[in-house]
Amino acid sequence: MAFFRVSSRMLFPCLVLLLGCQVNQQSSDEDVRRSLDTLKVKIATLTTSNLDSALHYSNLAIRFIQDNQLGNNELLYLQLRRSELFDQMGLRDSAEQTIAITEVLLQSQEDPYQKAIMNFCKGIHLFAADQYQDAEIYLQEAGAYFLQNPKEPKAGKVFQELANFYTKTGQLTRAHDFLLKAAAHFSSIRDADGVLAANIQLATIFRQQELQAELSGLLEEILSSLQQTGAATITYTQLQQLGFAAAEALPDSALAWQQVAAREALQAGDTVSYYLSLTHINAIVPDQNKLEEAAAYFDKTDHPSHFILASSNLGKLLLEKNELDSAKSWLDRALEHATALENPVEQIPVLTALQQWYLRAGKKELFGKTQDNIQDLKQDLAQKNAATTLEFLEKAQLLEQVNHQKTLLATKLEQQQRKIRFRNGLILAMGLGVFILGIGAQKVYQAAQRKKIAMQVLLESYKTELLHLTTARKSEPQTTKPGGAELKKKLLVLFEQRKIFLQPGLKVEEVTEELGISYKDFNQLLKEEYGTNFKNFINAFRVDHAKSLLLDPNYQHLTVEGVGLESGFGTKQSFYTVFQQALGVSPGEYKDIIQHKTQAS
Three-state secondary structure of 21-66: HHHHHHHHHHHHHHHHHHHHHHHHHHHCCCHHHHHHHHHHHHHHHH
Q: Report the pLDDT value the prediction gives residue 229, as an integer from 0 to 100.
A: 67
Q: How many domains does the chain have?
A: 3
**Same domain? 556 vs 593:** yes
Q: Which of 418, 437, 471 finishes a domain? A: 471
Q: Which of 266, 285, 304 finishes a domain? A: 285
Average pLDDT over residues 398-419: 61
Determine contact, residues 348/584, Cβ cutoff 8 Å.
no
- Domain assignment present for residue 373? The answer is no
pLDDT classification of 62: cutoffs 50, 70, 90: confident
- Tell me the torsion sign for CA atoms 106, 112, 117, 120: positive
CATH number at 534 reads 1.10.10.60
- Domain assignment present for residue 205? The answer is yes
User: Can you tell me the distance from the alpha carbon of 523 to that of 516, in angstroms, rounded to the nearest whole number?
Assistant: 13
**What secondary structure does DSSP assign to 171-226, as a single string?**
-HHHHHHHHHHHHHHHHHTT-HHHHHHHHHHHHHHHHHTT-HHHHHHHHHHHHHHH
Q: Report the pLDDT value the prediction gives residue 39, as an integer from 0 to 100.
A: 81
Average pLDDT over residues 331-357: 85
- Domain assignment present for residue 519? The answer is yes
Determine contact, residues 306/272, Cβ cutoff 8 Å.
yes
Per-residue pLDDT tens digits for 412-462: 667 767 777 777 777 777 656 545 655 554 554 554 454 444 344 334 444
- Tell me the torsion sign for CA atoms 31, 35, 37, 38: positive
Q: Report the pLDDT value the prediction gives residue 231, as an integer from 0 to 100.
A: 56
pLDDT classification of 499: cutoffs 50, 70, 90: very high
Instruction: Give whichever of 28-32, 66-70, 189-193 has the largest mean pLDDT.
Output: 189-193
**Same domain? 430 vs 456:** yes
Structural domain of residue 580, as residue ranges? 487-600
- The 10 Å Cβ neighbour count of residue 274 is 22
**Same domain? 425 vs 502:** no
> Would you say residue 399 has pLDDT above 60?
no
Average pLDDT over residues 173-196: 86
* Higher per-residue confidence, 479 vs 267: 267
Q: Report the pLDDT value the prediction gives residue 25, as an integer from 0 to 100.
A: 52
Determine contact, residues 595/550, Cβ cutoff 8 Å.
no
Per-residue pLDDT tens digits for 454-474: 344 334 444 444 443 333 333
- Domain assignment present for residue 24? The answer is no
**Same domain? 466 vs 534:** no
**Residue partners of 75: CB distance under 8 A and separation at least 6:** 62, 65, 66, 105
Q: Report the pLDDT value the prediction gives residue 99, as an integer from 0 to 100.
A: 79
- Domain assignment present for residue 97? The answer is no
User: Can you tell me the distance from the alpha carbon of 139 to that of 124, in angstroms, rounded to the nearest whole number?
Assistant: 8
> Would you say residue 73 has pLDDT above 80?
no
Determine contact, residues 500/506, Cβ cutoff 8 Å.
yes
**Same domain? 198 vs 257:** yes
Q: Report the pLDDT value the prediction gives residue 539, as an integer from 0 to 100.
A: 92
* Higher per-residue confidence, 20 vs 57: 57
- Domain assignment present for residue 576? The answer is yes
Q: Report the pLDDT value the prediction gives residue 517, as an integer from 0 to 100.
A: 92
- The 10 Å Cβ neighbour count of residue 186 is 23
Averaged pLDDT of the chain: 77
User: Can you tell me the distance from the alpha carbon of 446 to that of 427, in angstroms, rounded to the nearest whole number?
Assistant: 10
Which helix (H) or strand (E) segment holds residue 267: the answer is helix 251-267
Per-residue pLDDT tens digits for 525-567: 888 888 889 889 999 999 999 999 998 888 888 888 899 999 9
As a residue count, the chain comes to 601
